[in-house]
Amino acid sequence: MYRADIEANYSILKGQETINKRFSDIFNTMNFGFDGDRPYPQTGEFNWKSQTLYIGFNYRFGGGKNRTLKPKRRDAYEKEGSGGII
């Protein structure tokens, strides 16, 4: 069993938007065949409907301007005067 896919991506508007196109199983080779002899002689074949076309659209909001803020530093991550085990 094997198949070959082809995909193309195209960026527009300074990389903020991307259009994706993908075509699966371009040679229509995705099938399965078998031969058997138990419990009796038999042969068979199965063909998937594997040829599909996908078109996608992505938009990136914000352009990465709003990044997560680092946590505030504490005084050596300890509070002064903290107690211990008594």
pLDDT in tens, 51-80: 999 999 998 886 555 555 555 555 445 555
Provide the 8-state DSSP code for 16: T
What share of the chain has pLDDT > 70, as a percent?
Answer: 71
Pairing of strands 17-23, 42-47: unpaired
The average pLDDT across 2-15 equals: 89
- List the structure tokens of 11: 């960026």
Ranges of each domain in the chain: 6-62
Distance CA 25, CA 2 (A): 9
pLDDT at 36 over 90: yes
Mean pLDDT of the chain: 80
**How confident is the model at residue 73, as a pLDDT?**
54
**Between 64 and 23, residue with greater pLDDT:** 23
Cβ contact 21:52 at 8 Å: no
